[in-house]
A = this chain, B = another copy of it.
Amino acid sequence: MGVTIRQIAEAAGVSRGTVDRALNNRGRIRPEVAERIRRIAKDMGYRPNQLGRALSMSKNNIKIGVILQSAETPFMKEVLKGVEEAREEVDSLGGTVLVCKIPHISQSDTLSAMEFMREEGVSAIAMVPMDEKEVKERINLFVEEYHIPVLTFNSDVKDTRRLCFVGQNAFQCGRAAAGLMGELTGGKGQVAVISGYRANTSLSDRVLGFQTEIGKKYPGVQVLGPEYCYEENPKARQITEELLKTYPDLKGIYLTSHGEEGVCTALKNCGKAGKIKMIANDFMGKNYQLLKEGSIHFLIGQDARIQGYEPVMILFRLLFRGEEPERELQYTEIYIRNEYTIPEV
């Protein structure tokens, strides 16, 4: 067991309260005394015991708000698990986490969720934002006027005073897909891009990263599309069928978003599943299954759990220990998986 504040107090010939004031820069202490105590603490190798700290501070009850959008999607459900995990941890350390699930995407719901959080007296908010002027202004209001730090996760909003962002670098994700596709095709032939929504910046960044990198590194590859399937299988299937008809020599498909079943059904129906190289995103839906059976060659994805867990913990560390986040942009790792690297369970 380590050195305690009591031992330092004895060594310095002062009270424990004084040691506390010195070590935590609380003021109301003569600078020389503070300096001397800090010296002694350092010499004795003092490391504050988080338990004592947390227990005694649990009166204050740190409260963290979390706002999720599209909470009904499989991905967000995974994110939510991470949030719950963090909630338990924060809970067991004497804090509280308040979660607000917005089922779809709604500006007004987002704004009122923020307001609700404020009324509940949260000390910080982690949220999936929207790229809308009013939301951005509200974020700035919270940070500047109410002094409630706001962290964005999953998607980011530029030009706001949000504390930091936790999520994927979508452009880089597209580049990773390009690298894979380039190798799978041997660097030549036609490949198509099928995306989800035109207006979704994460998805369009993936497309852009893919196109850019193919253009740069694999000039022998011709990129078709993007076509948009709105994450619907029938639409994805229809697009794929038309592509196959128009480009009988198609070598690969990059799917930035969901619709994997539709694409693979179309491929199977004309006997090209496994032949046409397919790369898809996220470890949800039928993706693992299609990877196992060989219709999908690679999956690119992110750790959804971490995307829920980290934002809460970053805020907790900020509020509880005053630790600032390490970076403004905390990009989550980009995972590449083939059929042999599917995690158990």
Contact = CB atoms under 8 A, between A and B. Distances in A.
Interface of A: 1-2, 47-52, 54-55, 58, 61, 91-94, 96, 172, 175-176, 178-180, 183-184, 186, 213, 277, 297, 331, 333-341, 343-344
Given A175-B340, A334-B340, A51 B186 contact: no
Chain copies in the assembly?
2
5 contacts: A1-B94, A2-B91, A51-B94, A176-B340, A186-B186
B55 A51 contact: yes
Contact of A179 (B91, B93, B340): B340
Contacts of A179: 338-340
Given A51-B54, A180-B338, 15 more contacts: A1-B58, A47-B91, A47-B92, A51-B55, A51-B58, A52-B55, A55-B55, A172-B340, A176-B338, A179-B338, A183-B277, A183-B338, A213-B340, A335-B341, A336-B341
A336 B341 CA distance: 8
A344 B1 CA distance: 36
Contacts of A343: 333
Nearest to A303: B333
A228 to B, nearest CB: 24
Contacts of A277: 183
B176 A92 contact: no
Contacts of A1: 58, 61, 94, 96
B331 A341 contact: no
Contacts of A91: 2, 47
A50 B92 contact: yes
Nearest to A172: B340
B333 A94 contact: no
Nearest to A186: B186
A339 B50 CA distance: 40
Contact of A176 (B49, B58, B341): B341
Contacts of A93: 50-51
